Amino acid sequence: MSNSKNPVDTTDSTSPLVLVKDLVHVYPNGTKALETVSMMVKPHERLAIVGQNGSGKTTLVKHFNALLKPTEGTVTVMGHEIVPKSKIKTSQLAKMVGYVFQNPNHQLFSVTVYEELCFGLRNLRLSANEIKSKADEAVEMFHLEPFLKTHPYSLSMGARKLVAIASVYAMGPQLMILDEPTTGQDHDGKNVLAEALAKIYESGKTLVFVSHDMRFVAAQAERAIVMTDAKVIFEGSLRELFVNQEVLKYAQLRPPSVTELGQKMGPWGVKPDVLSVPEMISEVRRCLA
């Protein structure tokens, strides 16, 4: 299946934050995790990268901060070109690109939540006042006040995830990559996350989500890239994706329940690309009127 849109549009006057061209990645065991992938991340956008397990999503985004290097092809991140023999280090990109692992246990290792928030800031060699200011901002943003003296591993999985996101946010990267951010989150945790992400986006940052949670994707992202079998098979808006039955079936994805309901209510005049409950209510009222 070919891409529905060319993901590398050279006529776009806005320089992308991340530009991926013909990216191939083969792991040492011979597994080809990415096969000639081309795509971009635009400045100040909310992009979702979706697909089934093993489709190449996490492998792709780990190239954005040089956690992985291309086997073939190039990745250009804010002017820094990462090629197969590139010597660029993750530490060089840390101020620009923040990556939150799917499993927070892979990046939490301080003895208290507050120390976790300060650790990355110290590595940036900020002053004590700057460290305190940025850590306190993250505490407030993610509602972490009750846990500051708590060991991160004493928290629930959802709370640990919020701490991991907060610690990356505190470092002030222009681009934040969140791998499965709703993992382990209860209702309250999802609300805290949604409020924080809205503020982060409003501040001018760019957000990339890797997620299986289509309800979260519909609420948070504007554009989606769909991956299957190590390739990009679709790039477009969320509304375009959720009405594209061919792509959804091929990638084994289901739109949010409210979108499926809207599609079933098509004969009554409800549009097929409803993304939220408030939008559905508005559509029903319009049809009744």
CA–CA–CA angle 125, 126, 129 (5° rounding): 150
For residue 251, what pLDDT band results from cuts at 50, 70 and 90? Answer: very high
Tell me, what's the pLDDT at 5? Answer: 45
Neighbours of 125 (CB within 10 A): 8
* 206-210: strand order across its sheet: 97-100, 175-179, 206-210, 46-50, 223-228, 231-237
Tell me, what's the pLDDT at 2? Answer: 46
Residue 1 has pLDDT above 90, yes or no: no
β-strands 175-179, 206-210: how paired?
parallel
Domain ranges of the chain: 1-88+209-255, 256-289
Residue 162 gets the label, from left (phi > 0), alpha (psi -120 to 50) or beta, of alpha
Beta bridge partners of 232: 227
Residue 159 has pLDDT above 80, yes or no: yes
Q: How far apart are CA 74 and CA 55, in angstroms?
A: 20
CA atoms within 13 A on the CB side of 194: 14
Q: What's the whole-number mean pLDDT along residues 254-277?
A: 94
Q: How far apart are CA 257 and CA 244, in angstroms?
A: 15
Query: Helices marked H in the chain — which ranges?
Result: 57-61, 90-93, 113-123, 128-141, 157-170, 187-202, 214-220, 238-242, 245-251, 257-264, 277-288
When mean pLDDT is compared across 10-14, 66-70, 257-261, the lowest value belongs to 10-14
Residue entry with tokens 């590595």: 123
For residue 66, what pLDDT band results from cuts at 50, 70 and 90? Answer: very high
Question: Looking only at Cα atoms, what is the longest distance across the chain?
Answer: 63
CA atoms within 13 A on the CB side of 255: 26
Q: How far apart are CA 252 and CA 222, in angstroms?
A: 20
Q: Taking the alpha carbons of 210, 227, 224, 81 in that order, is the dihedral positive or negative?
A: positive
**Which of helix, strand or coil describes residue 42?**
coil
DSSP class of 289: -
CB 61 within 8 A of CB 179: yes
* Phi and psi at residue 183, to the nearest 5°: -55, 125
When mean pLDDT is compared across 88-92, 171-175, 250-254, the lowest value belongs to 88-92
CB 150 within 8 A of CB 122: no
Q: How far apart are CA 155 and CA 148, in angstroms?
A: 11
* 72-77: strand order across its sheet: 32-41, 18-26, 72-77, 80-82
Residue 215 has pLDDT above 90, yes or no: yes
- Four-way CATH pick for 1-88+209-255: 3.40.50.300, 3.90.15.10, 3.60.10.10, 3.30.1330.100: 3.40.50.300
